[in-house]
Structure 1
Amino acid sequence: MTQPRHPAVGHARKRSPLPWVLLAVFLVALGVVLVPKLVSSGKDDDPAPVAASQADPMLTAVDKCDPTKEGLRLSDKNRKLTVNGAGKKFPVGLHDDSMACVLDTLGVPGALSSRMTSTVSADGQLEGEWPGYSVVWTNDPDKGLDLTVTRTS
């Protein structure tokens, strides 16, 4: 004689939390993508898309280090960055903090940035390079540190 099947009392089938975890991850990702777009909608003053500026250190430097747009200029299809430093007689341009921001954002090695800032006007135009970039610069206390960074790769 066979016994009828009855569900065992007290042994409830446990459901997997996986669908809820996946839903939560999806909602967080959606929020990360949509919230910045909703918050910044209507602002047309961004010169480059966020993703492009994050991928390109030169665009990031322009956005982050020169909010007044007085000392940095991109050219040659964003392959050349001209940096105009402020000096004693020509105060328009980047001051020390903004210049340090540019050098850090571009990943200029410490020895090269020290060499740039310690150069004097009698040294004339000097040049250097680091992976992916080359730079030429002059440094005059009256005119400031001026450099042109070119992407080589």
Structure 2
Amino acid sequence: MEITAQVITDFREYYPEFVEPGTSGAAVVYPDSLLSRALCEADAETGRRWGRYDAGPCSLKKRGMFAYAAHRASLAMAAARATENGGVAAAPSRVASKSVADESVGYAVRAPGSADEAMGLGDLDTTIYGLEFLRLRRRAGMGAVVV
């Protein structure tokens, strides 16, 4: 599928937090080039089982693509911010516990026996968008494929 300017506009309307360059007061700006790449990856991740892309609000393919693209764009911007500030882009982890006094943070680490599950999830469980993609992926995997 071709990722057109209209697809990017539709994405920004669906997820308004992904503001475009030139938006005043925006905490994070997501350039079209980043969103185009993320949407291209999302199209590849959502195959025939997802149905056809439709600009309407109920298209499973559209919602899956947008959730996956939002996940990838979020991680890309987090990595960019880390490197711009002299840090190193690290693999995301979910926070399991947090303290304010003495600045303690504990991260959720998968048990060794859950390696198969971890391979299926990748990093998708580290953002709300990735979790939405996983939910939609379960739905897309149900039933027969119509040819």
Q: TM-score, normalised by structure 1?
A: 0.27
Which of these two proteins has the greater Rg computed from alpha carbons? 1
Pick the structure with more helix per residue: 2
Pick the structure with more strand per residue: 1
